[in-house]
Amino acid sequence: MAEQLSGLADDRALLGRTSTAERVSDILRSRIAEGFFPPGTRLSEDSIGGALGVSRNTLREAFRLLTHERLLVHELNRGVFVRVLTVEDVEDIYRTRALVECAVVRGLGDPPYDLDALAQAVDEGRRAAREGDWKAVGTANIHFHRELVSLAGSARTDELMRSVFAELRLAFHVVDDPRALHEPYLTRNEQILRALQAGERASAEELLAVYLADSLERVVEVYRRRVGAEDAL
């Protein structure tokens, strides 16, 4: 916890003079996504408020915002915790992803498309893989899909999927072999990119749909194995 709070103290400068619950929630959301606060972690109001230099009321409002985003959960008489996803949560996240991401690709219109950010995300993943940083590969993978969604040019869709992708990171944090989870999708991201560069929307959508179905199966398998191991204890 000391290391986690030290990281938050570094973020304190980001708040500036106009500290708000929204900006605090942005910082905490990023820290949760990065795994500084893993699923199941209890968040201390005193420690985090002190590290960020914000009032208890501001921090509670930030907690409320993140609870609304399903990243935190409030347990009566126990406090606020980073949410632990269930298999049903994971399935719902992927259901939402398939509905939104495939619809974005389907509705792109005529090529060419602005794919520079998508290509940069592919390069980011390849670079992280060469360095053996599989957590960063997972981050690059989410960047790829976030940029894919942004092709719709819809601020509302971007906002919706920001929360969905943040929840997805909670699922990734329980995976004990991130390389096995993320490495196969480096090539598949590139295949989707190449299809879009060629103006082949239907092919890109088909690749994406199969990709998401396979990814769901892998993550759910990890969850079921974890639940089985916990039941055996």
Q: Give domain limits for the chain.
A: 2-82, 87-232
Indicate the class that CATH gives domain 87-232.
mainly alpha
Residue 15: predicted pLDDT: 55
Whose structure tokens read 């959301």? 29
24 dihedral zone (left: phi>0; alpha: psi -120 to 50; beta): alpha
Name the residue among 193, 181, 96 with its Cα closest to residue 139. 181
Q: Which residues in the chain land under pLDDT 70?
A: 1-19, 227-233
Per DSSP, what are the bridge partners of residue 73? 81
Give the separation between CA 20 and CA 196, rounded to whole angstroms: 40
Q: Report the alpha-carbon distance of residue 164 to residue 212 in Å, rounded.
A: 14
Q: Which two tokens stand for residue 82?
A: 């980073």
- pLDDT of the residue at 213: 96
CATH class of 2-82: mainly alpha
Question: How is residue 23 annotated by DSSP?
Answer: H
